[in-house]
Amino acid sequence: MQEARKIRILIIDDDVDFREMLRMLLAAEGYAPEVAEDAVEGGKALLAKQPDLIICDVRMPYLDGLELLSLLRASEGTGNLPVILVSGRSDIDILGKASQLGASDYLIKPITRDRLLESIKTCLRQASDERSAP
């Protein structure tokens, strides 16, 4: 009997402690998490093998989460990939831009375990529904 494929989640965050906490939490929940320290490394991981979902910090060096989201949405291969943006700030302008760019969700740090898992399940379900729609 073939083992079910684990859902791959790419975590892109320059905060090593937060990134590792998410990685451990998601692994414990049965997901296959991968981590990247910034959007450049995240882009390389994406090119190697596309994940099922991305959790990305908004504020990072080189390329921020909004810029990465814009690039993902502009590409045919990643245009519908679920992206959850996370930030330590609840700036209304950033929230508006994230929504305009098509972020699947926007979470404010600190994030509770239950809120994160609920967001992941909702985003994955919506992506699945969109793929199966005629």
pLDDT value, residue 56 = 97
Other C-beta atoms closer than 10 Å to the C-beta of 11 total 27
Other C-beta atoms closer than 10 Å to the C-beta of 130 total 10
For residue 26, pLDDT beyond 80:
yes
Query: Which of the 8 DSSP states describes residue 110?
Result: S
pLDDT tens by residue, 29-83: 999 999 999 999 998 999 899 999 999 999 998 889 999 999 999 998 899 999 9
pLDDT tens by residue, 86-130: 998 888 899 999 999 999 999 999 999 999 999 999 999 999 888
Q: Domain 8-127, what architecture?
A: 3-Layer(aba) Sandwich (3.40)
Contact status, residue 59 vs residue 66, Cβ threshold 8 Å: no
Contact status, residue 69 vs residue 97, Cβ threshold 8 Å: no
Q: Which residues, listed in sequence order, are joined to residue 54 by a DSSP beta bridge?
A: 10, 83
Q: Which residues, listed in sequence order, are joined to residue 8 by a DSSP beta bridge?
A: 32
